[in-house]
Every structure is written in C-alpha cells, then in structure tokens.
Amino acid sequence: MSTFGTLFRVTTYGESHCASVGAIIDGCPPGLELSAKDIQIQLSRRRPGQSDLTTPRDEKDLVQLQSGLEMGVTLGTPIGLLVKNEDQRPHDYSETDLYPRPSHADWTYLEKYGIKASSGGGRSSARETIGRVAAGAIAEKYLKLAYGIEIVAFVSSVGKIHLPSTALPSLTPGNLDEEDDTAQDALSKDFVNLLSTITREDVDKYLTRCPHPETSEKMTQRILRAKSAHDSIGGTVTCVIRNVPSGLGEPVFDKFEASLAHAMLSIPATKAFEVGSGFKGTEVPGSQHNDPFVRDDSGRLRTTTNWSGGIQGGITNGEHIYFRIGFKSPATISQAQETAQYDGTPGSLATRGRHDPCVVPRAVPIVEAMAAIVVMDQLLIQNSRKTAASLLPPITTLPPTMVIPKKGE
C-alpha cells in the first residue's frame, strides 16, 4: 500500500505526470518548529536536472505545506504537503504505448491492476519518492533537535568502481585464500572513521555524492560513458545513523533491521540490502566477528567493534547503525533493445524521453529520508512503551539478574 509506519505514518500519493505529488504525515509531535525550507533542502538534493549525471527533466520541486502547522509550529495534526509536476512531457513516451519497458514496472502494473497510467512510470516513477523525502525531512528535524541523531548517506560504488574504504575484496571471486580467516578490511579504520565523521557537506562536494575525489572522478566518467552509449549503470549507497538511543526495534517481525530493509527495498530500483558486516561478515569467524563489550567513562556498556551495525536481536545498541543498498542500472535506456510489444509482437524498443543514467546520486536523500522515518517510528513506539511502564508502581522484589544494574554495581 502507499502508507508506511505505525505511529509516524507516511502516506504518499501521485504519479509521474499528474498534477502534483506529495504526502500526508500523521503522528508528527506537536510543538516542532518547521518551515518549508527545512524540507526544501532535501527535496532539492533529490530533484532531477541537478547535473549531467542525472535526468535532464527540469523540476524545481518546490514544496507547498498545506496543513498541520500554524505560525511555523506543528499542531500534532496531519501534515499535508505537495509538489507540483511542472515539466511533464507525456508525448516523450509514445513508443511505450506499444512496448512494456524491459525490467521497468509497465508490464507488472498492467498485470496487477488491469489498467496503467498512459505515460511515464505512473506510480512506479521516482516522482513518488518526493513525499517520502519531505516526510523524512520532518522526522529528521525532530530527531536532530530531540536526540542529536544524524543521518548521512553517500554513494559507495558505481558499477565496479568502489569507494576504497568500503570495497569488499573478498566478494571478488578468485582473490581470497579460502583457508584465510583474517577479517580483511571490511571494518577498516578508514571505514570506521568515515562512518563517525562524514557530513552531508562532505558528500555534496561531489556531483556523484561519493566523498572521495579520485573515486568520484572515476564514477563520473563511468556514468558519462553509460550515458553516451545510451545505456545505464547501477551502484550502491551506504548510510550511517549516529546517536540513536539503545532499545529501538520491535521483536520479532519489526526488528530494527527488518524495518530498515522494508523501508530501503521499497525505494524504486533497489535490489539488495545489507546491514553491519552484511555478506562480508559471513566470511569472518565468530572469534573475530563478535563485538566485545567494554564499560565507557559513564559506566555504560559499549562495544569495542561494530560488526553488528548497531543492531543486536533486532534492537539498537547505541552504536552507529550502518547499512548498504544496491540500486540496479535503470531500466529505461535509449539504446535499441530486442523485446516484445504488449500484444507479443517481437520488435525493437529504443526509449525516448529523459532518464537517469545512474540513480545513486539522487537516491542519497531518499535513503536518508526512509532511514529517518524508520528511526522516528521506532522511537515513538519505544517511548510509548517506556511512558506506559513508568506509570506503574516500582517492583522491588525482582532478582538482580532481571533488571539493569545501577551504575557502579
């Protein structure tokens, strides 16, 4: 369906070429100072037409707040917002009246609904993600003010070009000794340092949104090569969430990583998700993969490593949460492809229109938004549980093994 979340509920609406796209956000706490500018920053990072590396469809994507706040302060009531579709050119897509685009959603939407939007991707278009990005910006503002939570995503690969500190050498067949149990560099100091320090300003220095000059330049050339060959290329986005309190996540079906996976794999063009050590962790023995505990200066338990990606038992443990999402090469390409028309007639399709040769630079704010929505929702759920429990009279008869020891005990 078009709604995500339990207590922080986001419903998006809109198709690629309708009058507007947007969202209703229910569950935003009252008393949050909020302006269109807070939302616009992220929408502008997502918008098309940003550079040669993205689709030339030219949309300013200016947000209009419709409800849920007065005098710049949220009322606790549903926030409605919209962005007008302005640069629609439905006629660009006339050949897709005849052909379902291979690996796009034209055929499956038709099979499912028995009817589909007459042009563009309809609801499957990335225009739909505008509502999510706006909702995420609202969640993020609350999370930052109330908890100091920071969310930063960045491009970690395009095609076979990887940001060095996130490269996974052991996933390249043939370059690993099968008997070698050493942990390699999946949690290299560089990577840990990157997760702790990276900012959106670092990321936005590069059109690719890969925060490493040489790698970014190689990625740029790779995307431009795909574009000039009328082709496309995929990539990955890595995201870190810092300062998340421990205790978020709802065992068993709404474990924190399950909610993250749900959120991330609902973004168009996603094909893969891994959290913490991910697939790489399967190659590392438990003796190296376990995150040992240590007491910090405040007496709190922390872990000395973070292969878990900040989540254990589906519950956040207070360490950085980090995860990676794989985005496929976009389906719409202007290179001729042998395929079949809706009626089964074989033919050749070379799609006109304006398309992203690679989606990852624009996917960065979408990933950040979905991460913010997940954290916000899980936080409101945990806070409601804690509030309910705090109203009960204290129980003094429990054995010490059942409760958190007091500091110093």
Ligand X SMILES: Cc1cc2nc3c(=O)[nH]c(=O)nc-3n(C[C@H](O)[C@H](O)[C@H](O)COP(=O)(O)O)c2cc1C
Enzyme catalytic residues: 17, 104, 356
Q: Which of 34, 161, 219, 269 binds ligand X (CB under 6 A)?
A: 269
267 binds ligand X (CB under 6 A): yes
Structure-block tokens of residue 269: 């063009």
State the CB neighbour count (10 A cutoff) for residue 317. Answer: 24
- Cis peptide leading into 63, omega within 30 of 0? no
Q: Which residues of 105-130 are buried (b: 16+ CB within 10 A; e: fewer)?
A: bbbebeeeeeebbebbbbbbbbbbbb
d(CA 307, CA 317): 12
User: To the nearest whole angstrom, how small is the minimum distance from the Cβ of residue 127 to ligand X?
Assistant: 9
Q: Is the CB of 280 or the CB of 362 nearer to ligand X?
A: 362
Looking at 30-38, 173-181, 263-271, 301-309, which segment touches ligand X (CB under 6 A)? 263-271
Burial class (CB in 10 A: 0-12, 13-18, 19+), 393: exposed
308 binds ligand X (CB under 6 A): no
330 binds ligand X (CB under 6 A): yes
d(CA 140, CA 150): 8
138 binds ligand X (CB under 6 A): no
Q: Is the CB of 227 or the CB of 289 nearer to ligand X?
A: 227
Q: Is the CB of 59 or the CB of 150 nearer to ligand X?
A: 59
Does residue 42 contact residue 368 with C-beta atoms inside 8 Å?
A: yes
User: To the nearest whole angstrom, how small is the minimum distance from the Cβ of residue 340 to ligand X?
Assistant: 18
Q: Which of 362, 369, 374, 375 binds ligand X (CB under 6 A)?
A: 362
> Distance of CA 212 to CAs 40, 163, 202, 248, 374, Å?
26, 7, 9, 32, 28
3-state DSSP call for residue 326?
Answer: strand
105 binds ligand X (CB under 6 A): yes
355 binds ligand X (CB under 6 A): yes
Does residue 209 contact residue 155 with C-beta atoms inside 8 Å?
A: yes
User: To the nearest whole angstrom, how small is the minimum distance from the Cβ of residue 355 to ligand X?
Assistant: 3
Does residue 113 contact residue 2 with C-beta atoms inside 8 Å?
A: no
* Cβ contacts of 371 within 8 Å, gap of 6 or more: 136, 151, 153, 239, 241, 260, 263
332 binds ligand X (CB under 6 A): yes
d(CA 323, CA 320): 10
Q: Is the CB of 96 or the CB of 165 nearer to ligand X?
A: 96
Q: Is the CB of 46 or the CB of 242 nearer to ligand X?
A: 46
Q: Is the CB of 23 or the CB of 363 nearer to ligand X?
A: 363
User: To the nearest whole angstrom, how small is the minimum distance from the Cβ of residue 128 to ligand X?
Assistant: 8
359 binds ligand X (CB under 6 A): yes
Does residue 371 contact residue 241 with C-beta atoms inside 8 Å?
A: yes
User: To the nearest whole angstrom, how small is the minimum distance from the Cβ of residue 153 to ligand X?
Assistant: 12
121 binds ligand X (CB under 6 A): yes
Q: Which of 235, 268, 309, 310 binds ligand X (CB under 6 A)?
A: 268
233 binds ligand X (CB under 6 A): no
42 binds ligand X (CB under 6 A): no
Size of the residue set binding ligand X (CB under 6 A)? 20
Looking at 221-229, 267-275, 335-343, 392-400, which segment touches ligand X (CB under 6 A)? 267-275
* Cβ contacts of 393 within 8 Å, gap of 6 or more: none
Does residue 375 contact residue 367 with C-beta atoms inside 8 Å?
A: no
Q: Which of 55, 85, 308, 316 binds ligand X (CB under 6 A)?
A: 55
331 binds ligand X (CB under 6 A): yes
Which residues in this chain contact ligand X in the complex, by CB under 6 A?
Answer: 55, 104-105, 121, 124-126, 267-269, 328, 330-332, 355-356, 359, 362-363, 366
